[in-house]
Structure 1
Amino acid sequence: MQKIIRILFVLLLITTNSSRAQQKSSSGIQFRENTFAEALQVAKKENKLVFLYVYATWCGPCIELKMTTFKNKSVGSLYNSTFINFSLNGEKGEGPMLAQKYGFQGYPSFFFIRPDGKVLYRAEGFYDSKGFVELGQEVFKISKR
């Protein structure tokens, strides 16, 4: 019986690691799993803006973004190389405090934030892949002025 349990445990570990590897190798936007303060520190170190995506679990356009736009290879290529990507549930954890700080008005909201914590650009609503790439390119141009 113990042998069967060990085999099942090893299979579970293999499956979990395989799933994580697939997620990391996906071509879409890679959101960081840390605190917002840590994202700002990384942005300062790498001289990049933080792309802050504020969502709610019940938000239809947020779900559609996650399933389509954020998985797009062109979107991922631009955002992963240009910004420090951070997503945040606006109703849990750091969400309500940051939503209030940055004056967010609805879901989904996008903030492009300088390493000092000041908002450079904000946008709201659903974007298809093409529109989201254009948004990222425009914000990058603005940041270099």
Structure 2
Amino acid sequence: MRIKLMLLLGVTFVMFASYTNVAEISQSQVNFYKGSYDDFLREAKKLKKPIMLDFWASWCGPCKKLENETFTNPNLVTYLNANYMIYKVDIDSFDGMSIADRFAVDVYPTLVLLDPKTKYVGRYRGFFPADYLRNELEKNKNQKGKRFVAPKSSTTASL
């Protein structure tokens, strides 16, 4: 009987310890959506959460700095995971280029914000410290979006 009780306590302890580690890990990194862009949009609409699109490239120094410094800040990570659906857009892929064109993104990194209905709210270009970014996101969290209209190019091609 004593062995069964010790075994039960041991299993309970291991399960509790594992649960705690999973919770800590999930709050130490931003939960970027894994999957297609279309699936991401459907999921965000279903959850009725604001959207952040993170446009980045592997060769982009400020993108790496944003990833390593800003997106690892525990306060920002907790805030983002609780309040936003986030999708990383690799602009070196064909899908990423198409999404970047859709939102006229030409500076990296760029964070594009959409409301839960996928309407355009705004954008942030370049690197931002975690505290500044969190304050800005809190200001825009409940803002209603509008249909995005790409700016017209000021230059015309000549042949």
TM range (shorter): 0.7 to 0.9
**Residue in 1 that maps onto 2:134:** 133
**Post-superposition offset of 1:138:** 1.4
Change (3 A) 1:44 1:141: closer
Report deviation, 1:48. 1.0
Counterparts in 2 of 1:137 and 1:115: CA distance versus 1, 3 Å: closer
User: What's the counterpart of residue 97 of structure 1?
Assistant: 98
Residues 113-122 or 126-135, more deviating:
113-122
Structure 2: state its 5+ residue gaps: 1-21, 146-159
For 1:1-145, list aligned pairs within 5 A: 24-143=25-144
Q: Aligned-pair distance for 1:24?
A: 4.9
Larger Cα Rg: Structure 1 or Structure 2? 2
- Structure 1 spans left out of the alignment, 5+ residues: 1-20
For 1:17, the equivalent position in structure 2 comes to none
Q: Distance in 1 between matches of 2:58 and 2:24?
A: 20
More helix by share: 1
**Contact 1:32 / 1:85 at 8 angstroms: preserved in 2?**
yes
Contact 1:41–1:115 (CA under 8 A) maintained in structure 2: no
Distance change in 2, residues 1:22/1:43 (3 Å): closer
Partner in structure 2 of residue 16 of structure 1: none
Q: Which amino acid is the alignment partner of residue 54 of structure 2?
A: Y
When the two structures are superposed, what TM-score results if normalisation uses the length of structure 1?
A: 0.77
Question: RCO greater where, 1 or 2, for CA within 8 Å and sep 6 or more?
Answer: 1
Aligned to 1:120, the other structure's residue is in SS state strand
Q: Which runs of 4+ in 1 moved over 4 A?
A: 21-24
Letter in 2 for 1:48: K
CA distance in 1, matches of 2:102, 2:109: 16
Deviation at 1:118, TM superposition (A): 2.6
Distance 1:143 1:72, change over 3 A: farther
1:120 and 1:46 mapped to 2: Cα distance? 18
How has the CA–CA distance of structure 1 residues 140 and 55 changed in structure 2, closer, same or farther, with 3 Å as cutoff? same
Tell me the CA shift for residue 73 of structure 1.
0.8
Q: Please, what is the CA RMSD of the aligned residues?
A: 2.1
Conservation of the 8 A alpha-carbon contact between 1:31 and 1:85: yes
Give, in angstroms, the shift of residue 142 of structure 1. 2.2
SS for the counterpart of 1:68 is helix
Name the SS of the counterpart of 2:76 in structure 1. Answer: helix
TM-score normalised by L of structure 2 = 0.71
